[in-house]
Amino acid sequence: MKALFYILLIPVFILNVNAQEVIDFDDLYIDTNNLAYKFSNDSLFSGICEKRRRNKHLVLEEHFEKGVITIAKYYYNGKKRIVSDSVVYNVLKPFEYKTIYYFDLDSNLQEKESYDETGKYILKEEFEDGKLIYSCQYNGKKKHGKEFCYSKDGKLLEFEYNNGKKLK
């Protein structure tokens, strides 16, 4: 009987050790260095910060480690918790995007945007039924590099861009 008690106690202990603190946006502030602090004790925040509507619907969830934002998840309005967008941040530069994922209501990946270490937009990819259907390299806001997509009849099309201008 004691062995069964200890076996059941181990998962409870492990879950409590890995549990993260969850707070509301009103309990958090961002300093001039883009680090997140808790109002209650002025310490760097590690955990999850949630934004909820008055009806308790979860709108946004941001994950922080030692005051640095790592991930933000935006949710669709509805009874189920379905992620609409997920943003992965550059941990070396707080609030600079690294990758943004866009999902449909069935949680299928629709689009992915990638950024370099400096926060410059470098790649856009679109997906349909889990397959890549469009890809384009960027240099900031301008197309720069290879672009590929499929025509209506399913033929692969490839284009080359240099600083926003299509090369022949």
Condensed to tens digits (0 to 9), the pLDDT of residues 77-90 reads 988 899 999 999 99
Nearest-angstrom CA–CA distance, 97 and 75: 18
> How is residue 36 written in tokens?
């997140």
Predicted local distance difference test score (pLDDT) of residue 9 = 44
Predicted local distance difference test score (pLDDT) of residue 18 = 53
Instruction: Look at the chain and count its residues.
Output: 168
Q: What is the model's pTM?
A: 0.84
Residue numbers of the chain with a pLDDT score lower than 50:
1-17
Nearest-angstrom CA–CA distance, 133 and 129: 9
User: Structural domain boundaries of the chain?
Assistant: 17-89
> How is residue 9 written in tokens?
């106690």
Predicted local distance difference test score (pLDDT) of residue 13 = 43
Predicted local distance difference test score (pLDDT) of residue 6 = 44
